Amino acid sequence: MKSPKLASDEPALRISKLERETLHDRAYLEVKKAIMSGAIRPGATITIRAMAAALGTSPMPVRESLSCIVAERALVMLPTRSVTVPLMTAEQFDAARIIREFLATASSTG
């Protein structure tokens, strides 16, 4: 008797494989989402322990994810082992506005 074909052998089945997601990856995504949504306000100071407690994890994956976000300049590491969302200066705001306007114009003209 011939064994049935498994779904993974089907060439017409186009499903992406599940990727393993670490606590570091989840913490990174959640913190970035909180920054971009405004849940973490500019100027607010957050400790690694408080963030770990909010995410329901140990401090290590949070520390790793915060280090990555600090390297991206979306957070600033403070000497007290905490982080803050930097305040935007008027110059930074103007630069972001000019870039956004340029991109909007460029995308609308094709």
Helices 59-71 + 48-55 axis angle, to 10: 120
Question: Range of 55's domain?
Answer: 23-108
- The reported pTM is 0.68
Residue 7 inside a domain? The answer is no
Instruction: Look at residue 85 and tell me if it is in a domain.
Output: yes
How many domains does one find in the chain? Answer: 1
Alpha helices in the chain (DSSP H): 23-37, 48-55, 59-71, 90-108
Cα(55)–Cα(49) distance, integer angstroms:
10
What CATH number does residue 49 fall under? 1.10.10.10
pLDDT digit string (tens) for the chain, length 110 residues: 555 555 555 556 777 776 778 899 999 999 999 999 999 999 999 999 999 999 999 999 999 999 999 999 999 999 988 999 999 889 988 998 999 999 988 888 76
